[in-house]
């Protein structure tokens, strides 16, 4: 399939597209049993192989503390996406960032790399993995047997990897599952489904509200883009992946044009408000009107990635459109602060925009497709063991309200085994290098990624929820942890 490789949309809009890990590796060929065994023993530093079409990697420390960490990677698009259209990844990741190192890395080579890069900052590649190895954790990670909204494939990969480790390496004393973004959703589902061997979980910037709430929200953004910016925009039912890409690029072009006028900027603020998008991103601190509207534009473009080529993948999985905006009163999504910002940008514009949204033709989900999407991923919040949630307050891709949605489910089930940690950015930061933490998708310090495992481990080991002073110590002084912050309610749900 030929993919368009040029676009008129400036790079600032594509800074939002953190949907995929763009590293490349060829998949190993599984044997007749579905398992390709490593050539060497898995007890000599680590190993890699393939289980049921998913590449895995295990890295062992010099002295194992008995705990196995199984890491779940984030969303990887099923086919190449803008702006670079790099081949899709099949690399295993034992820890965040590990996939960008050699796929055959072991504990010994990781130690050598750490020594060779002694002058490198903590944000260097695979520093999270190196720190966890130093603490004695065994690391394991896998690709999934498919990319895209591959939640079921992720759950199976974890279960296969645990069984392989248990039989080929040794029986762990504890098993913690953890992951980022889509991997955070996989983490929650595995923790709920397999309490017999999962003893703790850490979900980072996870899509834990599940499939339908998130794709409904992306539909809200796509619908508003069609009604307010581009009447020809096709929001569901793409005939091909190329059509989905073309629709995304066409919408991004209109968003770029909207930045040039006061009414256009007010329109972008309105669209972002419908999804309760963050007022800041990693690249824009919203300390000026221009920065505020650019943050809104980034959030809208980000949502449209999920809402076009991400939706194409979901529709192929479910057999049709699973999302709906029937009956939504969009005027109720506009807060007092939203209205003030929009009116300040272009007085008298908001009410006109809301009337256009009200008059538009709504989208109704295919009943079977919606049920299928719910089956793919609807977390329950029922947990037998502790789970720590970590999220930035300002995430344009996986909004922090995912966490309040999950906490509400857990509370409804009478569960108390989950805790939410939020990070907030400094009040001011430059577009480059951007916020050091707290704003952006999965924008955590490496120390806080290591620290969240420490928080989880202390909770599991002692049976007591860590105190604020414990959390502050474990996450590190530069994490941006905001103990008094609260995740807003899911858009459209009364606070």
pLDDT at 40: 52
**Residue 318 preceded by cis peptide, ω within 30:** no
The whole-model pTM stands at: 0.89
Q: Report whether 283 contacts 301 (CB < 8 A).
A: no
What pLDDT, on the 0 to 100 scale, is given for residue 36? 63
Beta carbons within 10 angstroms of residue 369's beta carbon? 18
- Asked if 29 and 126 touch (Cβ cutoff 8 Å), the reply is no
Q: What's the pLDDT score for residue 18?
A: 38
pLDDT tens, per residue, the chain with 495 residues: 333 333 434 443 443 443 333 333 333 323 335 666 554 567 778 999 999 999 999 999 999 999 999 999 999 999 988 888 888 889 999 999 887 653 333 333 222 222 222 232 333 447 899 999 999 999 999 999 999 999 999 999 999 999 999 999 999 999 999 999 999 999 999 999 999 999 999 999 999 999 999 999 999 999 999 999 999 999 999 999 999 999 999 999 999 999 999 999 999 999 999 999 999 999 999 999 999 999 999 999 999 999 999 999 999 999 999 999 999 999 999 999 999 999 999 999 999 999 999 999 999 999 999 999 999 999 999 999 999 999 999 999 999 999 999 999 999 877 789 999 999 999 999 999 999 999 999 999 999 999 999 999 999 999 999 999 999 999 998 999 999 999 999 998 765
**Distance between CA atoms of residues 247 and 234, nearest Å:** 7
Report yes or no: 383 and 410 within 8 Å, Cβ to Cβ: yes
Q: What is the pLDDT of residue 34?
A: 66
Q: Which domains does the chain have, with CATH numbers?
A: 11-16+213-373 (no CATH), 35-72+93-142+149-210+377-475 (3.40.50.1820)
Cis peptide before 120 (omega within 30 of 0): no
Angle between helices 262-274 and 336-345 (to 10 degrees): 160
- pLDDT computed for residue 37 by the predictor: 55
The reported pLDDT for the residue numbered 302 is 95
């Amino acid at each position: 399939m030929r993919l368009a490789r040029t676009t008129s949309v400036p790079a600032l809009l594509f800074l939002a597209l953190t949907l995929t890990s763009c590293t490349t590796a060829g998949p190993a060929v599984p044997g007749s049993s579905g398992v390709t065994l490593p050539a060497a023993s898995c007890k000599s530093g680590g190993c890699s192989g393939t289980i049921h079409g998913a590449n895995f990697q295990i890295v062992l420390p010099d002295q194992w503390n008995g705990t196995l960490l199984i890491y779940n990677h984030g969303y990887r698009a099923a086919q190449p996406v803008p702006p670079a259209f790099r081949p899709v990844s099949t690399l295993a990741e034992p820890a965040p960032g590990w996939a960008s190192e050699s796929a055959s890395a072991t504990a010994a080579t990781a130690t050598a790399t750490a020594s060779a890069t002694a002058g490198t900052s903590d944000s260097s590649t695979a520093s999270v993995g190196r720190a966890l190895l130093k603490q004695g954790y065994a690391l394991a990670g896998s690709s999934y047997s498919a990319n895209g909204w591959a939640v079921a494939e992720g759950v199976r990969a974890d279960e296969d990897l645990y069984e392989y480790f248990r039989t080929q390496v040794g029986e762990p004393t504890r098993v913690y599952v953890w992951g980022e973004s889509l991997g955070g959703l996989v983490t929650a589902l595995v923790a709920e489904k397999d309490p017999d061997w999962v003893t703790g979980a850490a979900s980072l910037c996870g899509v834990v509200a599940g499939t339908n709430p998130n794709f409904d929200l992306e539909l809200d953004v796509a619908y508003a883009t069609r009604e307010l910016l581009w009447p020809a925009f096709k929001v569901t039912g793409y005939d091909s992946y190329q059509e989905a890409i073309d629709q995304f690029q066409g919408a991004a072009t209109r968003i770029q044009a909207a930045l040039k006028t006061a009414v256009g900027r007010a329109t972008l603020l309105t669209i972002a408000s419908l999804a309760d998008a963050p007022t800041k991103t990693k690249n824009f601190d919203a300390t000026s009107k221009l920065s505020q509207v650019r943050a809104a534009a980034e959030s809208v473009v980000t949502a449209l990635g999920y809402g076009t080529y991400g939706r194409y993948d979901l529709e192929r999985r479910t057999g049709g459109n699973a999302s709906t905006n029937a009956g939504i009163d969009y005027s109720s999504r506009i807060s007092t602060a939203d209205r003030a910002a929009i009116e300040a940008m272009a007085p008298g514009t908001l009410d006109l925009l809301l009337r256009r949204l009200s008059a538009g033709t709504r989208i109704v989900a295919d009943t079977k497709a919606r049920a299928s999407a719910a089956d793919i991923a609807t977390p329950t919040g029922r947990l037998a063991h502790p789970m720590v949630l970590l999220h930035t307050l300002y995430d344009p891709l996986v909004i922090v309200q995912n966490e309040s949605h999950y906490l509400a489910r857990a509370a409804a089930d009478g569960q108390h085994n989950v805790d939410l940690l939020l990070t907030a950015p400094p009040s001011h930061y430059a577009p480059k290098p951007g916020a050091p933490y707290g704003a952006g998708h999965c924008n955590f310090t490496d120390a806080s990624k290591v620290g969240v495992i420490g928080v989880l481990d202390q909770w599991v080991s002692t049976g007591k929820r860590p105190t604020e002073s414990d959390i502050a110590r474990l996450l590190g002084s530069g994490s941006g942890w905001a103990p008094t912050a609260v995740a807003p309610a899911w858009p459209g749900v009364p606070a």
